[in-house]
Amino acid sequence: MGDVIFITWRESVEALLVVGILRAWLNERPDRAWGLRWLWGGVALGLAAALALALLMLGAASLLDGEAGEWFQAAMVLVAAALILQMVGWMRRHGRGLRQDLEHEAAGQLARASGWGIALLAALAIAREGSETVVFLYGVAGRHEGAGRLAFAASALLGLALALASFWLLQSGRRWMSWRSFFRFSERLLLLLAASLWVNALDRLISLDVLPTLVDPVWNTADWLDDSGAVGGLVAALTGYRAQPALITVLAYLGFWIGVALLLRPGASATAATARAAA
C-alpha cells in the first residue's frame, strides 16, 4: 500500500499548497472575511467535483465485465501514467511562478468584486489535484484487489495525515526540507510511479494478447527479491520492478525512461514555450 500512501500524500500536499497560498494572501486583505468564505466554498466545490469523478469511474467499472473491464482498467492505468508525466512537466514550467500567478489572479477577482471568481479559482485547483488523485488511485487499485477496501482506505487516510503534517512542517519555516527540495524529491518518486503504472498497463495488454512477450522470462531474480513478497511488492509498486519480466516489458521500460529523459531535458520546456509563442 506504499503507492497509495505516496499518491495521497503528494497530491494532498500540492492541494494544500494552493489553498495555503490563497488563504495567506486573503488574510492580508481588509476584506479577508468575505474572500475566505468564497475560498472555502470553492474548496468544497472542488472536492465535490473530484468525488463525482470517483463515483463516475467506479460506476463505469462496475458496468464493464470480463474483457471490456480489463480494457477499461488498462486504459485508465495508461491515462494515470500520462497524467503523472504531464504534471511533472507542468510543475517544472510553472512551479516557480505558482504563488505569483495565484495571487495575481485572486487580486483580479477581488478588484472585480467577484466572489465566484475566487471560489472558481480554488475549485479548479482542488478539482485538478483531486481528479488526478482519483485517476492515480484507480490506476494502482488493481494491484491491491486482495488487500480489501478497508486497508486501501486506511492507506489513503494515512497519506492524507502525512500530507497535513508535511504541509505544517514546510509552512513552519523549519530547515529540514524546503518546498523546492520537496518537489524535487516527490518528482522523482512520481516518475518511478509512472514507470510502475506503465509496466502494469503492459502486463494487462499482454494478458489481453495485444502485445507479444517475445521472450518470457528474460531473467529470474525471485530468489533475491520476489515481487510478490512484502519488500519486493513495495519495490514493484513504486518502481515497476518485475522478478521475471518478459522481453517486451524490459524494452518498453527502457523506452519509457528514454522518453522521460527527452521530455524533461533542460531545453525541452524552453523549446515548447518558443513554439507556442510562435504559433
| Contact status, residue 214 vs residue 248, Cβ threshold 8 Å | yes
- The dihedral through the CA atoms of 71, 77, 83, 88 has a sign that is negative
As a whole number of angstroms, the distance between CA 193 and CA 139 comes to 10
- How far, CA to CA in Å, does 56 sit from each of 5, 34, 131, 151, 159? 23, 33, 11, 22, 23
Look at 114 and 76; give whichever has higher pLDDT. Answer: 76
Query: Cell numbers at residue 111, please?
Result: 478588484
| Contact status, residue 165 vs residue 81, Cβ threshold 8 Å | no
Look at 2 and 26; give whichever has higher pLDDT. Answer: 26
Q: What is the pLDDT of residue 173?
A: 61
Q: What is the pLDDT of residue 273?
A: 45
| Burial bucket for residue 274 (CB in 10 Å: 0-12, 13-18, 19+) | exposed
Q: What is the pLDDT of residue 268?
A: 54
pLDDT tens readout for residues 179-231: 777 888 888 888 999 999 999 999 989 988 899 999 989 999 999 999 888 88
pLDDT tens readout for residues 35-94: 788 889 999 999 999 899 888 888 887 787 777 888 888 888 899 889 888 888 877 776
Look at 245 and 68; give whichever has higher pLDDT. Answer: 245
Look at 276 and 116; give whichever has higher pLDDT. Answer: 116
DSSP 82-96: HHHHHHHHHHHHHST
Whole-prediction pTM = 0.76
Look at 264 and 97; give whichever has higher pLDDT. Answer: 264
Give yes or no for residue 272 having a pLDDT over 70: no
Q: How confident is residue 253, by pLDDT bands cut at 50, 70 and 90?
A: very high
Supply the mean pLDDT for the chain.
81
Largest CA distance in the chain: 68
As a whole number of angstroms, the distance between CA 256 and CA 243 comes to 19
Q: What percent of the chain has pLDDT over 70?
A: 84
One-letter identity of residue 15: A
As a whole number of angstroms, the distance between CA 182 and CA 13 comes to 10
| Domain ranges, ordered by start, for the chain | 2-278
| Burial bucket for residue 99 (CB in 10 Å: 0-12, 13-18, 19+) | middle
Instruction: Give the contacts of 6 (CB within 8 A, at least 6 positions apart).
Output: 159, 189, 193, 238
Instruction: Give the contacts of 206 (CB within 8 A, at least 6 positions apart).
Output: 212, 213, 246, 248, 249
Instruction: Give the contacts of 273 (CB within 8 A, at least 6 positions apart).
Output: 93
pLDDT tens readout for residues 132-147: 888 888 878 766 665 6
* 3-state SS, residue 64: coil
| Contact status, residue 121 vs residue 43, Cβ threshold 8 Å | no
Look at 279 and 189; give whichever has higher pLDDT. Answer: 189
| Burial bucket for residue 202 (CB in 10 Å: 0-12, 13-18, 19+) | buried
One-letter identity of residue 52: A
